[in-house]
Structure 1
Amino acid sequence: MEDPAAAAEPGGATPWPEARRIARDAARPLSPVTRPLAETTGTVLAEPLAALSDLPSFDTSAMDGWAVSGPGPWLLSGELLAGQRPGAAPLPDGHAIRIATGAALPPGATAVLRSEDGRTEERGPAGWLHVADGCPKPEPGQDVRPRGQECRSGDHLLASGTPVTPALIGLAAAAGYDELTVTPRPRVDVLVLGDELLDDGPPRDGRVRDALGPLLTPWLRALGAGPDTTVRRLHDDPDLLHQAVGSSTADLIITTGGTAAGPVDFVHLVVHRLGARLLVDGVAVRPGHPMLLALLPAGRPLVGLPGNPLAAVTGVLTLAAPLLRALGGRPDPVPYAVPLAEPVAGHPVDTRLIPVAFDDASGAARPLRFRGPAMLRGLAAADAMAVIPPGGAEAGAAVDILDVGWGSAS
């Protein structure tokens, strides 16, 4: 395995694309687990999904109407509803039986005549079925879902690594599964640092409201973290952080604040005390430059995010999101680019990530205001984040787009 830190620049910030690659390569998928279908939403398949039965498992009526044998007219007898087993005796030529959508076709039936295409008449003790005036006679196999139309038993349905969606769960149930073997969603501990943070009310007395705790919990879950992801507030005390990290059993630990070089920035000190190996120590990106990624002695990753809210968001997209995909066995998102609606000034040497909204008419990415490191107003109105290369980009230039992942596990 290639050393994930091989691309880091000694003594300098890691280029933004390399930092993302290092994060992706720093983790491997968690061990597979087998869970009931209802508990697998948001995971990914850890092994291929194969059909356990034919779908449909018998010839089925695709419409309400009559199962008919031969060209007609047909002598009517009986009724078949979904869930009923037809008799073993074949439907004789010239006979028909009333049938509901989803009901098993009786042996000997050649087609289904839709309700709107037939007319019945009473003739003596028996009823007769005719094709309605102006309607075509049913062709053999018409409105019949033949056995195995969707798949045969043993057919490969989906590959390992496929995200488990409600539709996948429905397919698995239809194919005979009660449980699935999946890669679980990683558990994340978020440790929010800062004695200046308030838990409620407006900013006051020189202190500010904690925005990252409320932001990170739902966002990390949307990016693939498990529902048992937790957020804890810690005082600015390196011993408390040391104890919290050392006692954590989470698959990924994220800290916020304390990654720069200020008087209470001690994340580096704690990482060193724990014997962790720094893979990324600063990234050439704005905002969010003083972020870090370290591997604890047991191999679990720790991401240190800056304390400024938009800078922390950049850190999540740069380091935490690739790690969550790697741990959860998720594929990388398909990259795409969108033209800019207006020019954006760039940093001379660093990549910039800025919030953008997509123009309804042109589809272009419109840069939003309020995109300073401590601001969330632009991000709250954004559709995505645009990647601005060093030196900036002109109006009309195609720039890479990062979906923020609200409401998804992208």
Structure 2
Amino acid sequence: MTGPVLLSPPDVGALEESYVLRALRSGWVAPAGPELAEFEREVAARVGTGHAVAVSSGTAALHLALLALGTGPGDVVLVPTLTFAATANAVRYTGAEPVFVDCDPATGNVDVALLADLLDRLTADGERVAAVIPVDLFGTCVDYASLLPRCEAAGVPVVEDAAEALGATYRGRPAGSFGRAAALSFNGNKIITTSGGGMLVSDDADLVDRCRYLATQARQPVLHYEHTEIGYNYRLSNVLAALGRAQLCRLDAMMARRRELRERYAKLFAAVGGVRLLGDHDPGSNCWLTVVVVDPVEAGWDVIDLAAHLRARQIETRPVWKPMHLQPVFASARAALTGAAARLFARGLTLPSGSALTEPQISRVLETISEFLEARR
């Protein structure tokens, strides 16, 4: 055993080094420059939207999109309970109230029927629902064929949280191309990384212009520094954009590597009763993270046991996202619940999934899991 095996480490190499060095030598090291403009153009083209603005994080992209839609105090925004805190935090940044919705147990994505019923109830009660934020969980897209017509009928805009889903597709259409706007993340553990960073993408040119303006401290287009409203320091640097451009060149190969690893996990667990992979029947997933879901009664063991066994051998795992309605900071929030998200939190475990994992590391993970399963047969 030589060193830890991480869940999803950055996958960078010589190509990224050459792009970053080029950006440094150009002198453009601030949040402006040719690499930044090209990165925005290339991501928009990949996602299939007309416009994009690169920002400091996926959270910033969500915040800007909500602001551009006029979200503010007194409004409510529907958010899946099974997500990372950033989705709900961005709502709070605007002063609006997140109302949480439980998930589809097969995928972990938002339960569309439950969301539609909640949307009807809230609007009937006279509340202003400023937006719906579906989350493409672990790289698998939401059922947009069902979701979008429900939101459109209610007159509520959709802001797609595609932070985990760059490269994924739904019925042939890229993640990030659904709704009025979408947020992408390039955090260090994502499928591509700019160290930290994100992007807002949309076909709405006016919305993107508004977000770009707010992301640059809402500075007025005059020679001196003039500000008529509050803005934010949210722009991505030109150097980090260069890193992102190199990563984007390798996206398809990195997705293929993650899918190959998922298939090896699927084969390993295929004959194990009470065990499944979350969303494993989605051919459009980018396979960002592979999640194993265990029924402890049928399997005879718990994910906690597997996690402890792997941890003892320096192999990193992580539970699925703790639902927002169970987080202390959102304890008083309203929620429409079925119990599905809480069960996935109790029974789900993310396994090492990164494209940078070496074959010896992958073999070590698979052999350690096999050892665990054999001991419990």
Q: Which has the higher strand share?
A: 1
TM bin, normalised by shorter chain, reads under 0.3
TM score, norm. by length of structure 2: 0.28
Larger radius of gyration: 1
TM-score (norm 1): 0.26
